[in-house]
Structure 1
Amino acid sequence: MTSFLDPFIAFVSAHAWLAYLTLFLAALLEAVPVVGSVIPGSTIILALSALVPGGELKLPWVLLAAALGAVLGDGSAYWIGHRQQREILDTWPLMNYPRLVAQSESFFHRFGTWAVFFARFVPPIRAFVPVTAGALGMAPAKFYAVNIPAILAWAPAHVLPGVLAVSALHEYAGLHHHGHVGKHIWILTVVAVAIVVSVGLWFIRRRHGSGVAEAKPRG
């Protein structure tokens, strides 16, 4: 993964518009059922956010790109489920992931409306709960009333760790060039992702009684 993302991040850092587009697409695809369970959207967002302290990217635009991608991704998944109702959960490609679909349904039934909020922070069901909410008949107004605040919390939670960590590294080590900071980005990214995932899984295990990590598709 690092061998692919290192040159990719280096390239987009020189083309701000492409970096913002990548942030938007990473957040959007992360919300797509099935696709979102394999796309390293959080890693890409964290890695690109590390370019903010060096001035390659602007923090408000990074947050906006990530938030808009998440809103469009979650909203699209929700409306697909809302229009096709329960049958969408038994059609391809969701039918190939019965355990994740079942996990998402159970998560939704246990937490109700708040499942939409909590799922934003918990992979891999983050990509399945919006479509499940639509399929199970959650009203649009209720979905967006929870989904929008969740995304407004999720975007800073994914962007700011990279920004703050690299800013602290700049201040502590006196490094002012992106080339120097780049050596440390992946360590910081892995730590940040591990913290986000660990906190999410800990919360779900306490409230749900079973680890999300067990809900993986067969084969």
Structure 2
Amino acid sequence: MQAFALKDITDPVAVLNAFGGIALVGLLLVVFIESGVLFPVLPGDSLLFVAGLLTAAGTGTAVGEATYTGSAMSLPVLLIATPIAAILGSQVGYFIGRFGGEKFFKPDARFLKTKYLDESHEFFEKYGPATLILARFVPFVRTFAPIAAGAAQMKYVKFVIWNAIGAVIWADGIILLGVWLGKIDWVRTNIDTIFIGIVLVSVLPILWGVVKKYLAGRRASATDSGA
């Protein structure tokens, strides 16, 4: 394993390089933790995208300004193991929520903010069990949705089914997108731009929710003023 600085924690290439010859193990560990184990700042989406890209390109590939130096990864193994890691991480999150996990959240906390859990609850109220699929593509909500499901006493069998579907669609979908786009030289040399795009697309649902709340508040204020 290579030296790793905390500032590199959101850099997927740096994360994979840090694990060296056990890069696959590192990837699975990150996916497991980010899927429900109360640590939402890891590079889930971008890490999966880069992993897919590297299955075709291999060790020594330049990804943006960095060069991947870790071990080669097999696409079939990634497509099987990564959803399993995501499923298991969410199982942990579910049981954290079911057995009192909400007490870990504080309004002014750095990572475990109450508002993140509230946003996950709102997703459930709007989309029901399908939240476990949709939330996979939304940072922070992805981590806290299983906790919200457990806190809401969602039936375990229903949780397992929807969680598994969401994990497969999310993990394998992004990996395969990386495989496909990774064949394009421009993508590999401008990976930072791709990451920004991934983040923007991921947070759009949250931004839209904020805008809707703001507009609803404005309408309510206008109605009260006119009454």
Q: TM-score range by the shorter chain?
A: 0.7 to 0.9
Does residue 29 (structure 1) correspond to residue 42 (structure 2)? The answer is no
Residue 181 of structure 1 is matched in structure 2 by none
Q: Is the 8 A contact 1:43 1:189 kept in 2?
A: no
Q: 2:151 maps to which residue?
A: 135
1:42 aligns with 2:52: no
Amino acid paired to 1:102: D
- Paired with 1:107 and 1:199, the residues of 2 have a C-alpha distance of 14
Kindly report the root-mean-square deviation, in angstroms, between the aligned alpha carbons of the 2 structures: 3.1
Distance in 2 between residues matched to 1:207 and 1:141, nearest whole Å? 32
Output the TM-score relative to the length of structure 1. Answer: 0.73
Classify 1:42/1:168 alpha carbon distance in 2 versus 1 (closer, same or farther; 3 Å).
Answer: same
Look up the match of 1:125: 141
Q: Percent identity?
A: 24
Q: What is aligned with 2:80?
A: 64
- In structure 2, what is the Cα distance between the partners aligned to 1:73 and 1:3? 19
Alignment of 1:64-143 (within 5 A): 64-82=80-98, 84=99, 87-89=100-102, 91-92=103-104, 94-95=105-106, 96=109, 97-143=113-159
Unmatched 5+ residue regions in structure 2?
A: 1-7, 59-71, 215-227
Residue 199 of structure 1 and its aligned partner are, at CA, apart by 5.6
Match of 1:179 in 2: none
Q: For the residues of structure 2 that align with 1:154 and 1:189, how far apart are their CA atoms?
A: 21
Structure 1: gaps spanning 5 or more residues: 174-183, 212-219
From the superposition, tell whether residues 124 and 104 of structure 1 become closer, same or farther in structure 2 (CA, over 3 Å): same
CA contact (8 A) 2:52 2:182 kept: no
Larger radius of gyration: 2
